[in-house]
Amino acid sequence: METSYGRQAAYKVLTVFVFWIGITSLAMAQSTVSGRVLDVAGQPIIGATVKVTGQEGGAISDLDGNFRVIGNATDSLLVSFIGFASQVVPIGNRSVIEVVLKEDIQNLQEVVVTALGIERDKKALGYAVQQIDGDALSEARTTNVMNGLAGQAAGVQVTGANNGLGSSARIVIRGENSLNINSNSPLIVVDGSPINNNIYGTGSGAANQSDMPTDFGNGAADINPDDIASISILKGAAASA
């Protein structure tokens, strides 16, 4: 009996020891994996998502495209970014990995740049978006780029003043909601910077010697239509967030 009991105890100790060695080996196999995410031109991709397969969380590439994650040799990296085809890269024995993403032509048409200059997937937005190509605005050949939006987008009403060259253009999206003429105007953001697009100013001219409202044009008239790549019209309350 003593011999049998001793063998059972030794077997249990050996089992625990082997199990502990296995866990220790697995923990030691995990290491830090760093690298960069680039495009085909060699430029860093900022904000790319890097995930280790089978793990929660991940990392985001920084301003230089660099990232750092924890994984082992049997894991793979899933690297993705809006407008680019995702890649699965095995880690293997490497501690530094360079990932080159190629543009996904099919998904490029579904990417929208919001007012803050942030690229978002069109399907993930909680509001309607309509994009107008810059060539369509250039062909209109108007003195005010806002006049070129007339008839280009649904739910957008554009009224041009008949005051000659330099007069303002009034734009309303989805109807009037205020008696103040400027309160109905949408927010216009150019390359991440909002511009003042109020229609009227006050002053006097040759035929107006009082401080009655005078049409001095609006801010959008200063934009050259030939310099516009595209205009995105964001509709809905969520678009202002």
Residues 6+ apart with CB under 8 A from 57: 51
pLDDT mean over 21-29: 49
Instruction: Write the pLDDT tens digit of every residue in 31-53.
Output: 889 999 999 999 999 889 999 98
Q: How many CA atoms lie within 13 A of 185 on its CB side?
A: 21
DSSP 45: P
pLDDT higher than threshold 60 for residue 177? yes
At 20, the pLDDT band (50, 70, 90 cuts) reads very low
pLDDT higher than threshold 80 for residue 147? no
Place of tokens 């190629």: 102
What's residue 203's pLDDT? 52
At 78, the pLDDT band (50, 70, 90 cuts) reads very high
Domain with CATH 2.170.130 in the chain: 111-240
pLDDT mean over 61-86: 90
pLDDT mean over 219-223: 73
Instruction: Write the pLDDT tens digit of every residue in 222-241.
Output: 777 777 777 777 776 665 55
What's residue 18's pLDDT? 47
What's residue 223's pLDDT? 77
Q: 3-state DSSP call for residue 27?
A: helix
At 21, the pLDDT band (50, 70, 90 cuts) reads very low
C-alpha–C-alpha distance, residues 239 and 233, integer Å = 9
Give, in words, the CATH class of 31-104: mainly beta
Burial of 75 (0-12, 13-18, 19+ CB in 10 A): buried
- The single-letter code of the amino acid at 177 is N
Q: Which CATH architecture has domain 111-240?
A: Beta Complex (2.170)
pLDDT mean over 147-154: 74
Q: How many angstroms separate the Cα of 183 from the Cα of each of 16, 125, 156, 219?
A: 74, 25, 15, 15
Proportion of the chain above pLDDT 90, given as a percent? 17
- Work out the number of other CB atoms within 10 angstroms of the CB of residue 136: 15
Domain with CATH 2.60.40.1120 in the chain: 31-104
User: How many residues does this entry show for the chain?
Assistant: 241
At 13, the pLDDT band (50, 70, 90 cuts) reads very low
Q: How many angstroms separate the Cα of 20 from the Cα of each of 23, 34, 72, 182?
A: 5, 29, 19, 72
pLDDT higher than threshold 60 for residue 174? yes
What's residue 217's pLDDT? 64
C-alpha–C-alpha distance, residues 203 and 127, integer Å = 40
